């Protein structure tokens, strides 16, 4: 990891800097300062545990957007072998903000589709900051149907602030293709596992987000709107974004209680960007476990259960209202 840090990480980064300086000093001067280094490392570890044990929703969102956080290609490199990228939608063009292809996870062939951001300005312009155009979602749908044809499980990685909202995208049917993708995914006769690896923003996430199992990394978020957008609409003030983040209940710990997601993938202390290899290992373990559960489920049951899963979302029972109705009936 480089020195890029978030505001609430400053005490950790300062200790890391002092530890590195001591290590360099010890090496250059051939002086043993191992005890001091151990003391500072323990102090840094204690501070990390304290800070990251009580993160706010807004702080988790900042981690999900960390510039060094692993992206789709990073995870593919660490969990899959023989990955071959497939390009284009056979209609308009090849959207680099949404990538996909075939690879193997521990010998199991899978179709992997995901959003891809860039690391620098040039790559972010190429990847459109991870915001797909309609041709990206059409490419995804083409790959979904290919996976069904060859009976390949599908894994999607969500990491986007949202689908691109430009005029050209709307002219080419952005909203339509996102809805069409959801309909197509609801009918696919192969297992689908959805993983939110960073930002899960609005329809841009839902365009590849309908599956049998939906998982999230613990420092990612999944929401109908960004906190900034919500704050601008409700309070006309983007400075209220932290309040919006809390109100939206968009973090993994809240969403699993609401039944929106099925599983939380743990991250290394401090976030996936601090140890991408370990984060990928955690992801791979979860994927293997879920693939094993789904592999023998009949295709008709997969489709039926997937439909039922999403129809249940947002349904709540009002015990107060039910009690009142019971009283009326008894009278």
pLDDT tens digits for 305-317?
999 999 888 776 7
Whether residues 294 and 192 share a domain: the answer is yes
More confident residue, 140 or 2: 140
132 and 13 in a common domain: no
Per DSSP, the three-state class of 302 is helix
Shared domain for 45 and 71, answered yes or no, is no
Is 1 inside a domain boundary? no
Q: Tell me the pLDDT band of 2, cut-offs 50, 70 and 90.
A: very low
42 and 66 share one domain? no
| 319 within some domain | no
Indicate the average pLDDT of the chain: 91
Q: How confident is the model at residue 320 (pLDDT cuts 50, 70, 90)?
A: low
DSSP code per residue over 56-71: -HHHHHHHHT-TTS--
Confidence of residue 319 (pLDDT cuts 50, 70, 90): low
CA atoms of 250 and 225, how far apart (whole Å): 9
Residue appearing with tokens 């899978």? 110
Q: Count structural domains, the chain.
A: 2
72 plus 21 within the same structural domain: no
Instruction: Specify if 181 maps to a domain.
Output: yes
- Is the confidence at residue 293, as pLDDT, over 50? yes
Same domain, 14 and 142: no
Cα–Cα distance between 12 and 20 in angstroms, integer?
12
pLDDT score at 71: 98
97 inside domain: yes
Q: What is the mean pLDDT of residues 288-292?
A: 97
Residue 325 has pLDDT above 80, yes or no: no
Residues 269 and 246 occupy one common structural domain: yes
**Residue 320 Cα distances to 131, 313, 316, 327, angstroms:** 43, 21, 12, 11
pTM of the predicted protein model: 0.87
Token pair for 116: 């891809």
What CATH number should be reported for the domain holding residue 259? Answer: 3.90.226.10
Enclosing domain of residue 176: 62-311
Looking at residue 216, its pLDDT comes to: 98
255: in domain: yes
Share of the chain above pLDDT 90, in %: 75
- Tens of pLDDT, residues 161-191: 999 999 999 999 999 999 999 999 999 999 9
- The 10s digit of each residue's pLDDT in 50-63 is 888 889 999 999 99
**pLDDT tens digits along 101-129:** 999 999 999 999 999 999 999 999 999 99
| Residue of 180, 178, 264, 285 whose CA lies nearest to 221 | 264
Considering the domain architecture, whether residues 36 and 143 belong to the same structural domain is answered as no
Which one has a higher pLDDT value, 97 or 331? Answer: 97
Instruction: Give residue 141's pLDDT band: very low, low, confident or very high (50, 70, 90).
Output: very high
Q: Three-state SS for 262?
A: coil
Residues 23 and 42 in one domain: yes
pLDDT tens digits, residue range 226-264?
A: 999 999 999 999 999 999 999 999 999 999 999 999 999
* Buried b / exposed e along 293-328 (16+ C-beta atoms within 10 A): ebeeeeeeebbeebeebbeeeeeeeeeeeeeeeeee
- Confidence at residue 44, expressed as pLDDT on a 0 to 100 scale: 79
- Span of 2-16, 70-84, 230-244 with lowest mean pLDDT: 2-16
Name the residue with tokens 């209220």: 240
Average pLDDT over residues 13-39: 79
Question: What percent of the chain is helix, strand and coil (3-state, nearest 5)?
Answer: 55, 15, 30
Statement to judge: residues 20 and 79 lie in one domain: no
* Ranges assigned E (strand) in the chain: 81-85, 98-105, 108-115, 154-160, 192-201, 213-217, 221-223, 263-265
Q: Is the per-residue pLDDT at 68 higher than 80?
A: yes
Q: Is residue 323 in some structural domain?
A: no
Tell me 282's DSSP state. H
- 131 and 37 in a single domain? The answer is no
Task: Write the Ramachandran bin of 82: left for phi over 0, alpha for psi from -120 to 50, otherwise beta.
Answer: left
Residues sharing a CB contact under 8 Å with residue 260, sequence separation 6 or more, in sequence order: 214, 222, 313
Same domain for 35 and 66, yes or no, is no
Query: Quick check: is 29 in a domain?
Result: yes
Q: Is residue 331 part of a domain?
A: no
Please tell me the number of Cα atoms within 13 Å of 127 on its side-chain side: 23
């Amino acid at each position: 990891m480089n020195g890029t840090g978030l505001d609430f990480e400053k005490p950790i980064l300062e200790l890391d800097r002092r530890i590195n300086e001591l290590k360099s000093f010890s090496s250059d001067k051939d002086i043993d300062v191992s005890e001091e280094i151990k003391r500072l490392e323990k102090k840094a570890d204690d501070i990390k545990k304290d800070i990251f044990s009580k993160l706010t929703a807004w702080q988790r969102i900042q981690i999900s957007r960390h510039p060094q956080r692993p992206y789709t290609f990073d995870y593919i490199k660490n969990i899959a072998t023989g990955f071959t990228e497939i390009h284009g939608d056979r209609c308009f063009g090849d959207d680099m903000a949404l990538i996909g292809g075939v690879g193997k996870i521990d010998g199991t062939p899978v179709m992997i589709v995901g959003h891809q951001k860039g690391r620098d300005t040039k790559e972010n312009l190429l990847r459109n900051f991870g915001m797909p155009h309609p041709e990206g979602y059409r490419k995804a749908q083409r790959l979904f149907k290919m996976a069904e044809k060859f009976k390949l499980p599908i894994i999607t990685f969500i990491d986007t602030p949202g689908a691109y909202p430009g005029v050209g995208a709307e002219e080419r049917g952005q909203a339509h293709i996102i809805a069409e993708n959801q309909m197509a995914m609801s009918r696919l006769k192969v297992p689908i596992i959805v993983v939110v690896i960073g930002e899960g923003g609005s329809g841009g996430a839902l365009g590849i987000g309908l599956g049998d199992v939906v998982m999230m990394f613990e420092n990612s978020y999944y929401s109908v709107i960004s906190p900034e957008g919500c704050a601008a609409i409700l309070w006309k003030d983007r400075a209220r974004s932290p309040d919006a983040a809390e109100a939206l209940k968009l973090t993994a710990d809240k969403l699993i209680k609401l039944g929106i997601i099925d599983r939380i993938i743990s991250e290394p202390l401090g976030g996936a960007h601090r140890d991408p290899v370990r984060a990928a290992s955690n992801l791979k373990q979860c994927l293997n476990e879920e693939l094993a559960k789904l592999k023998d489920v009949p295709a008709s049951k997969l489709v039926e259960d997937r439909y039922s899963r999403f129809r249940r979302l947002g349904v709540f029972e009002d015990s107060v209202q039910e009690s009142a109705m019971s009283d009326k009936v008894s009278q």
